[in-house]
Structure 1
C-alpha cells in the first residue's frame, strides 16, 4: 500500500531501543532487562496514529536488528515509516534505565547514542515530505551540529511551510555546552505551536512568575502551551493579522476554526507574524490521575492537543484532550499507551466544569464502557 502524499502530522526525531529493568535497583544490580522503544517524536506519531490520525515518522536508524525492531514496532501502530532511512555505517541508539521515575535521586539512565544513525541527520539527507503539521522536539537539536542545522532549517519562517509544532523537551545532560538553553529558545521562537513545562522554563531560562512570564519570553508562537504538572496547563493563542500565514492558521484552529491546509512548495521567504491583540489565556485543570508511570506523558499530551488542532476544536477542548491522552499514558506502564476512543474522550471533554475538576482516572479507564459519570470516583 502506498503511503499517503499528505499526512496529518510528520514527526521527526531519534527513537532508540529501550531496556527496562525486570526489577527495581541500581543498573549495576539489575540482572536482566525487557526491550521496548523510546523516542519523544515517535511517541507523538504512534499515539496520533492509534487515535485515527495519519502520521509519518521521519528519522535514521542503523542497518541492524535494533533498527528493524524500531521500524517494525512504530509501524505496527499505523505510523507511516517510509521516511526512515537506514545507515550502514552507524548503529541504532539504545539506552538503559532503572525502574524509578525521572527526577528522583535513584533514577539512572545510560545512553548509548553518540554517533548513532539518527545523530547523522542533516539538511541534505532528510526528506520530511508533506504534512499538515510538522512536529519537532528540542532533543534533536542536541544530537549533533548537523541535527541542529536541520532544526534551524525546519523552524525558519517562510511562506507555505507546514504548521510547526515544537516541544522544548529540555534535557540538560544531552547538551555538549552551555548554549543549549539559548538554542531551544531560538527554535521555539520560530515555531507556530510550542509546548513547554513551567518547571522546564525555569530550569532552562530562569523564568519565574508563572505562565504569563513564559509568554513574555516567547511572544512569537501563535500558540504557546505551558504545562503545569498535575495542576493543569495554560494556552496562549495569538490573533494573527496575516491570514495566509501558518501562524494565523494555528490561531484560527486554537479558536475552533478551520484546520491548516496542505503545505505548498514555496521557496523560503521571511514572513514575520504580527498580532493585533491577544485575548486572556485559557487554563484547563488536569483531572486527578492514579499514576503508574510518568514516562511519555508529555508526548501524549502534545499529541492530544495536536489532535484538537487537526480537528479544529476550541483551545479549551484541545487542552482537555491533551490531559486525557496524558492520563492514558500516566495510568499504564511504559512510554506508550493507546488513547481513549474518540467517542469516549469527546464525552469526557464535554463535562461541565465541576464534573471535569472532580474527575479521577485510574488504570484501565480508557477501556471503560461506562458513561462519564461512572468513570468518576469520589
Structure 2
C-alpha cells in the first residue's frame, strides 16, 4: 500500500456561501454550497501541489457525505480514514461575505453545533497503520469542542508521538463551533504544547500569546520547530529554523477568502516535504518556504469556495516569477 505522507484530521463540510455579498444573514435568500472544512481543504491542496495526503474525519450517511467523499476521491485524497455516522448529518455552515470578499460564519441553519457527524469521529475507528507511516499530521482546534472527536485527536496524537510523526497545527479558532467557547482556550493551549509547527492568525496570536511576533511565540513555547503568523492582506511573519522574517501580502483581486489560510498551510507543508525540515536552517530557504505558502494562499482567493481555486505547482511557480 502507498501510504499518504500527510494526514489531515478534522472536519469536512459544506460552506453555504451567500449569493448576496454585503448583505446580513437575515437578508440572504440564496446560497451556493462549496466543499470545505480546513483539514479537508489542506488535504486537497496538498494533492494538487503533488504531495500525497489523506483525510481523517466523519461524515453522515447522507447525500452531502457521499458528495464530499467523492470529491476527496476525485481529487486523489486518501479516504481510508473517513468514518460514516448512521444518523448524524454532514455539517453545513452558512457564510456571509462582504463586498470585498471577506467572509464571516453566520450559523448552522436550524441545527445545534453538536448535532453533526464530524463531532462523532471515533478513536477506535482510527488506523494506527496510517499514522505510523505518515510524515506529518495536520490538526485544527474545532474538533476539540466535542468529546468523541477530542478523544480521537488524543489517540492520533499518541500514535504520532510514538512514531515520530511531525504535528502541524492551524488553530483556526471559530467560537460558533463550541458549545461553550470558554472551554476552547485551555484545550488549545494544551494541544499546542505537543506540536512541532504552529500556523496561527494574528487575532489568534493576540488571544493566546498577547503578541503577533513569530519569534517571540517560538521562544515562549520552546518546543516548536517553526511558527507562522498570518494577517490576511497585511502579510505574515515567520520563525523557521531560528530564521525570522516578515513578508508582505501579495496584491490580489480577491473573490473569496475562504480557504486562503488552508492553502497557506498546504503550501508550507508541501515545501517541507520537498526540502526537508533541516533545510529551514538556511535563511534563504526559510524565506522561500514562507513565500511559497503565501503564494498558494493568495491564489486560493481568486475563485469562490475553498477548493476550486487551489493551484497546481506550475501556477504557483508562474505566479512567484511574476511577483
TM-score range, shorter chain: 0.7 to 0.9
CA distance in 1, matches of 2:29, 2:230: 37
Indicate the RMSD between aligned Cα atoms, in angstroms.
2.5
Go from structure 1 to structure 2 and tell me whether the alpha carbon gap of 1:101 and 1:76 turns closer, same or farther (over 3 Å shift): farther
CA distance in 2, matches of 1:102, 1:147: 35
Q: 2:323 matched to 1:321?
A: no
CA contact (8 A) 1:47 1:338 kept: no
Question: Residue 260 of structure 1 aligns with which residue?
Answer: none
Structure 1 stretch displaced more, 55-64 or 224-233: 224-233
Show structure 2 runs of 5+ residues with no match: 280-284
Question: Residue 6 of structure 1 aligns with which residue?
Answer: 3
Q: 2:171 matched to 1:168?
A: yes
CA contact (8 A) 1:286 1:320 kept: no
CA contact (8 A) 1:47 1:303 kept: yes
Structure with the larger RCO, 1 or 2 (CA within 8 Å, 6+ apart): 2
Deviations 1:320-365 (A, max 9, x none): 110110111122222224444424534655xxxxxxxxxxxxxxxx
Structure showing the higher helix proportion among its residues: 2
Question: Residue 353 of structure 1 aligns with which residue?
Answer: none
Q: How does 1:134-213 map to 2 (within 5 A)?
A: 134-142=137-145, 144-156=146-158, 158-175=161-178, 176-203=180-207, 205=208, 207-208=210-211, 210-213=213-216
Deviations 1:119-139 (A, max 9, x none): 011322222613221111111
CA distance in 2, matches of 1:72, 1:28: 32
Deviations 1:104-162 (A, max 9, x none): 8x9551124422221011322222613221111111212x1222232233334734231
TM-score of the two chains, using structure 2 as the length reference = 0.85
Q: Tell me the secondary structure at the aligned position of residue 97 of structure 1.
A: strand
CA distance in 2, matches of 1:33, 1:295: 15
**What is the CA-CA distance between 1:207 and the residue it aligns to?**
0.9
CA contact (8 A) 2:228 2:237 kept: yes
Query: Which of 19, 28, 33 is equivalent to 1:35?
Result: 33
Runs of 4+ in 1 over 6 A off after TM superposition: 101-104
CA distance in 2, matches of 1:73, 1:340: 16
CA distance in 1, matches of 2:319, 2:16: 35
**What is the CA-CA distance between 1:301 and the residue it aligns to?**
0.3
Deviations 1:6-57 (A, max 9, x none): 2121111111122223334333333332222120000001111112221111
Go from structure 1 to structure 2 and tell me whether the alpha carbon gap of 1:27 and 1:119 turns closer, same or farther (over 3 Å shift): same
Show structure 1 runs of 5+ residues with no match: 239-278, 350-371
Q: 2:19 matched to 1:22?
A: yes
Deviations 1:165-201 (A, max 9, x none): 1111122233314131121121112011111122211
Radius of gyration: which is bigger?
1
Q: Tell me the secondary structure at the aligned position of residue 138 of structure 2.
A: strand
CA distance in 2, matches of 1:235, 1:117: 35
Count matched residues.
Answer: 306
Question: Residue 251 of structure 2 aligns with which residue?
Answer: 288
Question: Residue 114 of structure 1 aligns with which residue?
Answer: 114
Q: How does 1:236-275 map to 2 (within 5 A)?
A: 236-238=239-241
CA contact (8 A) 2:90 2:117 kept: yes
Q: Tell me the secondary structure at the aligned position of residue 134 of structure 2.
A: strand
TM-score of the two chains, using structure 1 as the length reference = 0.74
Go from structure 1 to structure 2 and tell me whether the alpha carbon gap of 1:282 and 1:56 turns closer, same or farther (over 3 Å shift): same
